[in-house]
Amino acid sequence: MARPEDTNQQADDALAADATPAAGSTSAADAASTAHSTPPADAAPAPDATPVARDTPAADDAPHPGDATTEAATRAWQGLHTLLLDRHNRRKEVADALGMSFSRIRALRRIAPGPLTLRELAARLASDPPYTTVIVDDLVRRGLAERLTHPVDRRAKLVRLTEAGHTAATRATAILATPPDALLALPTEDIEALDRVVTKLLK
């Protein structure tokens, strides 16, 4: 099947062919027009009205004032990603230390402030309820959490941490919150400046 652009091209070619006279078929009117429009050999050439093209950059090619700022922000963001997820991946460190996946550790830290229903915990983990149930079952099996009957809705269950669960959550928080040595080695003014920037970004 011919594409629309091919059909358009064929139509254009046909129009061009119809408008082009065959070889040797120049009419008398065309010849007369050519005779009148041809300047004599000694006539002065007509001035060229076509402006000379100059290599002037287009408006879109001109540098924008915000480009340097955007590039710096991109470098900073990529650098933070590398620092947090590659060079100093505390998630792997805390998972190895506690002997469980980081999804379990996240659940521990979400439950630590107080008991939650499974639905509330799933929302805070941005997880679906069935997978949240799997996580809670594992925490209960490890002796880190327990299920309680909801005091108002007898059909619902609350999940709260055991003493061992609170100990594990506290240890996880300490590992995650410990700054790397490279950060502590920076000058005080640099650390304070970074603290101000991060505080602004978290607002």
**Dist. CA 150–CA 142, nearest whole Å:** 22
Percent helix, strand and coil across the chain, each to the nearest 5 = 60, 5, 35
**Dist. CA 28–CA 24, nearest whole Å:** 12
139 part of a folded domain: yes
31 part of a folded domain: no
Predicted confidence at residue 14, as pLDDT, reads: 42
Predicted confidence at residue 43, as pLDDT, reads: 47
CATH of the domain at 170: 1.10.10.10
| Total domains, the chain | 1
Is pTM beyond 0.75 here?
A: no
101 part of a folded domain: yes
Residue 109 near residue 172 (C-beta atoms within 8 A): yes
Residue 97: CA count within 13 A, CB half-sphere: 17
φ, ψ at 146 (rounded to 5°): -145, 155
158 part of a folded domain: yes
Residue 99 lies in domain: 91-176
pLDDT tens per residue across span 135-193: 999 999 999 999 998 888 878 889 999 999 999 999 999 999 999 999 999 999 999 99
Predicted confidence at residue 89, as pLDDT, reads: 87
pLDDT tens per residue across span 146-162: 999 888 887 888 999 99
Intervals of the chain under pLDDT 50: 1-45, 47, 53-54, 56-57, 63
60 part of a folded domain: no
Predicted confidence at residue 151, as pLDDT, reads: 84
Predicted confidence at residue 64, as pLDDT, reads: 58
82 part of a folded domain: no
32 part of a folded domain: no
10 part of a folded domain: no
